[in-house]
Structure 1
Amino acid sequence: MTARAPLPETERFARLRLARTDRVGPVTFRQLLDRFGSAERAIEALPDLIRRGGGHGHDLPPGSVIEAEIEAGTRLGARLIVQGDADYPEMLAAVDPPPPVLWALGAFALTARPCIAVVGARIASAGGQRIARGLSQQLGEAGHVVVSGLARGIDGAAHAGALPTGTVAVLGGGVDDVYPPDNADLYRQIAEQGCVVSESRVGARAQAKDFPRRNRIISGLSRGVIVVEAELRSGSLITARLAAEQGRDVFAVPGSPLDPRSRGPNELLRHGAILCEGLEDVERAFSSLRTLREPPADPPFANAPEDVDVALLEQVAALLSPTPTPRDEIARAVGAPIGTVAAALLELSLAGRATLLPGGLVSL
């Protein structure tokens, strides 16, 4: 395989700046790169795209704000990784869409090794924590890197079990946001012996909206996700659902029906998750060769015009609703090529009139 040429520093700076722009989420970021070929060109085009989409002004952060973020990361000893960097994790790059940027503290090379996530309840039983710790130790000794979210309970036990062999903690806040505070010692050990990863800017404090993004990275880095204990409405089951959507294996440790923390794993088993009682179950599932999802044969903007007709743009906007709708369906409704409709939706999203979602979906 030919080594990928490193991105120029000006382009890496532009990619971080574009990623920190309001209304530019992972889907929009990916589509802007597809359409313009670089973040630098996309940034130049932003004002016109927003105006054409019916918006006014733009919220591109000044360069000084991005410089401050980079300086804060450097002081911390963290590394910036952007989409397109040679060491951007292959598994995560296959997610649709991948996070535009990552900050990493510690041994980022761990993310290139075979990873598996171990997640579960924050208020975990002693037995559940023992299972998570022992299973993670076995996984590490077998050559796997254990990924989790540094939460109380199962996450903390999983990290502790895998610490001697390699573990990755994915945070909702910045890589310097130690949450919960009682995991401060574990955080310090992971930063020294493993790796701490975050999509958020350095210095950011975790908010509720950040945890689904964190969970998506946990599953995206991993070949599979093991759920040890979880109630039916929990972040761990969200991680399991994301893993299934990403084409990863989902494992569940069965538990007593008398314990509400077993309802989540047991429900996953009813819906086809792989029963996990130990390392052997994981190794058996991974013994067959698996490949990452291939990207679409044609990029979404193939053969799209440079400028979308304003009348068509408004036609597309009129078809949007709060319910997520496939992009292909909108293209059929207006009778236009998918590339043209994708370009129109991109402009509408930048103007704040549409939300681009993973899987080719769009909503108001």
Structure 2
Amino acid sequence: MSAQTIRSSSTATLLADLRKRRLEQRRDFHLVLLTGLELEQRGQLNGGSDDQWEAAEQVAVAAVEGGNVDLVQTLVLRLDKHYRDSQPHRANYLHGLVLEVRGDLDGARNCYERNVQDDETDVPSRKRLIALHLSSPLVTLPDPPTKGSPSASVPASAQPYLAASLHQQKGISVLVHYLDIYYTDLAGWLSLATAYAQLALYAQALAALAHAVVLAPSDPWVKLKFAETAYTQGDVALAWKEFLRVVEMSTEAGDKELKGAARRAAMGAKLCLPRLRTPEKSKKASKDADALLAPAKLDEMDLLLSKLLLDAYHKTDGAVGAGVVERWIGGGAEAGPR
């Protein structure tokens, strides 16, 4: 939904779109923020119905992620008056949002931790707590002090790095505990996979993505993320099969051009081919009688993928032109695009 579409949509349509995003657990904070700004301009985030209060809170969270301080403070002030007596923890959570957008991350973390300790079912506070921990920058610790250093403790220069590392570990721990309770949170599993991948824990990331695939079996982008992670981990045979599956599920009958996830998956499948043609892989495929890994099948799929990719890029005036793809395919996919 573009900004122009949002401006031309009715209030009922915009509120319905926000409701759908809440039900589907889709973040899309930039679109939520654009929608919220339009509704605020129309005076439709002042409460009234439950749907409007829910929408106001949803927009407040998006405003935190978008850094819109004024909108956050305006909405939280209204929401606080509405929730303070009936749902004090919810009001405290909203004040945590204000602390976040002001840059007081330690204060926000403390606020959310108090909420979770008082009420383990406080999902919004738990999610923000996880997000704050996982958003700590990943950095490398400085070299340890040399032997004979007068200081046996961690040097002051290393403290920020150590704190970031501890926040990452705490965030993963809290997220795993959350998913044990709320298994069906697709966004949670995707966040966990990303957190593991950032730490180069690809086996754990792949395990998290396996749960995401179970929850969204028809989403090609989730399947694509699973395939790419399998490739990065080194399980090329699994990646090959999953890339092909993405191409299949993303291409409707009659389509003559690769689009979206299918195009990216085809690129990934081409990268797998040189590594699947090694003598060890060919021998293992013959032993396991795996049809998709048989040399003849690999050759057949190689030609098909090349044709699909060349057709797709010849019809696209994108950043990567057909000439680049032709050179990549002609020179061997293992060389990679240049």
TM-score after normalising by structure 1: 0.25
Specify which structure has the higher proportion of helix.
2
Higher relative contact order (Cα pairs below 8 Å, separated by 6+ residues):
1
TM-score after normalising by structure 2: 0.27
